[in-house]
Amino acid sequence: MKTLSSPSNSSTITGFILLGFAYPREGQILLFVIFFIVYILILMGNASIICAVYCDQRLHTPMYLLLANFSFMEIGYVTSTVPNMLANFLSDTKVISFSGCFLQFYFFFSFGSTECFFLAVMAFDRYLAICRPLHYPSLMTGRLRNTLVTSCWVLGFLWFPVPIIIISQMSFCGSRIIDHFLCDPGPLLALACSRVPLIEVFWSIIMSMLLVIPFLFIMGSYILVLRAVFRVPSREGQKKAFSTCGSHLTVVSLFYCSVMIMYLSPTSEHEAGMQKLVTLFYSVGTPLLNPMIYSLRNKDMKNALQKILRT
């Protein structure tokens, strides 16, 4: 990896400064307390879903096993950024090493891409369960489920190494300040000694593919699901089908709306304040909301969680 260099100074810089949220010392401490509590709630919420699925035999179905993997992924997702953000709130220098920055870059985007694939697989599972209910046990076998789960993890962690390695080999000049709370490609590329349009185009293409292809797959699955649901003569049957899909659709909407605003909107060069707010929502807000969405809207999950609390 190359270190940062300044054209006016032959010395090398071995890290970046993550500016984070520019508040006085008291404000930084308050933010530390708030995000520490949020982080603990995220860990507890997602860990409780994993425990519920593990402990309750009735939840050993593809839908809930996928949800448990999704919750484990969410824990990794927030852990790739929040601990460093908490440390920065209490730090006077706010320095992150060169290797630390690109490791955070890799894990944050790898967990994020894994989330995209899991959301698509969960939509496929709901499609099979609702549109092919009689064939569902023979179609969604344990082998297929394990193959889908493994594929999500492998694809997610193989999606970004090449662009990240390329970006890490670039020369960075002048200011080493990143006006963000994490190592995001936009602010990083802005620090490069010279613009490399080919890398920017390559990054846009792989981000577009990552977001658009799973999103279209999810939308296609739910269009077929809705068609099947409206054909159900029983109002109770329709309500049950909507309840099983509602949680997933809510999570998809929250995640994709914020990420697409950030990376696919025509005004993708957002000002720093907007970048931080939108990134904060999909990197911390959605992992906080997801356990509540899945547990509050799901009767089986609520019963399993109550059973754990009573023991």
Closest of 136, 133, 193 to residue 167, by C-alpha: 193
Residue 263 has pLDDT above 90, yes or no: no
pLDDT digits (tens, 9 = 90+) for 165-205: 999 988 888 778 898 999 988 888 888 888 788 888 898 89
Identify the residue with better confidence: 304 or 269.
Answer: 304
Name the one residue in this structure whose structure tokens are 């754990």: 308
Dist. CA 148–CA 124, nearest whole Å: 10
Dist. CA 156–CA 171, nearest whole Å: 27
Residue-range domains of the chain with CATH: 17-305 (1.20.1070.10)
Instruction: Write the DSSP assignment of the chain as a string of letters.
Output: -PPEEETTEEEEE-EEEE------HHHHHHHHHHHHHHHHHHHHHHHHHHHHHHH-GGG-SHHHHHHHHHHHHHHHHHHTTHHHHHHHHT-SS-EEEHHHHHHHHHHHHHHHHHHHHHHHHHHHHHHHHHHSTTTHHHHS-HHHHHHHHHHHHHHHHHSSHHHHHHHHTS-B-S--EESSSS--HHHHHHTBSS--HHHHHHHHHHHHHHHHHHHHHHHHHHHHHHHHHHT-S-HHHHHHHHHHHHHHHHHHHHHHHHHHHHHTSTT-S--HHHHHHHHHIIIIIHHHHHHHHHHHT-HHHHHHHHHHHH-
What is the band of 270 on the pLDDT scale with cuts at 50, 70, 90?
low
Q: Kind of pairing, strands 9-13 and 4-6?
A: antiparallel
Identify the residue with better confidence: 254 or 38.
Answer: 38
Closest of 83, 76, 78, 72 to residue 18, by C-alpha: 83
Question: Residue 240 burial (CB < 10 Å; 0-12/13-18/19+)?
Answer: middle
Residue 267 has pLDDT above 60, yes or no: no
- 10 backbone dihedrals φ, ψ, rounded to 5°: -80, -10
Percentage above 90 pLDDT, the chain = 51
Percentage above 70 pLDDT, the chain = 90
Q: Say what the pLDDT of residue 11 is.
A: 41
Q: Say what the pLDDT of residue 1 is.
A: 45
Residue 9 has pLDDT above 80, yes or no: no
The upper half-sphere exposure of residue 48, i.e. CA atoms within 13 Å in the direction of its Cβ, equals 22
What is the band of 237 on the pLDDT scale with cuts at 50, 70, 90?
low
Residue 214 has pLDDT above 90, yes or no: yes
How many CB atoms sit inside 10 A of residue 147's CB?
Answer: 11
Residue 38 has pLDDT above 60, yes or no: yes
Identify the residue with better confidence: 206 or 261.
Answer: 206
Q: Say what the pLDDT of residue 74 is.
A: 96
pLDDT digits (tens, 9 = 90+) for 64-91: 999 999 999 999 999 999 999 999 999 8
Task: Quote the mean pLDDT of the chain.
Answer: 86
In terms of average pLDDT, the best of 55-64, 237-246, 300-309 is: 55-64
In terms of average pLDDT, the best of 31-35, 193-197, 203-207, 220-224 is: 31-35
C-beta of residue 246 within 8 angstroms of C-beta of residue 274: no
Cα–chain center distance at 92: 29
What does the pLDDT average to over 239-251? 76
Q: Say what the pLDDT of residue 298 is.
A: 74
Between 44-58, 117-131, 203-217, 241-255, the lowest mean confidence (pLDDT) is in 241-255
Q: Say what the pLDDT of residue 261 is.
A: 84
The upper half-sphere exposure of residue 28, i.e. CA atoms within 13 Å in the direction of its Cβ, equals 17
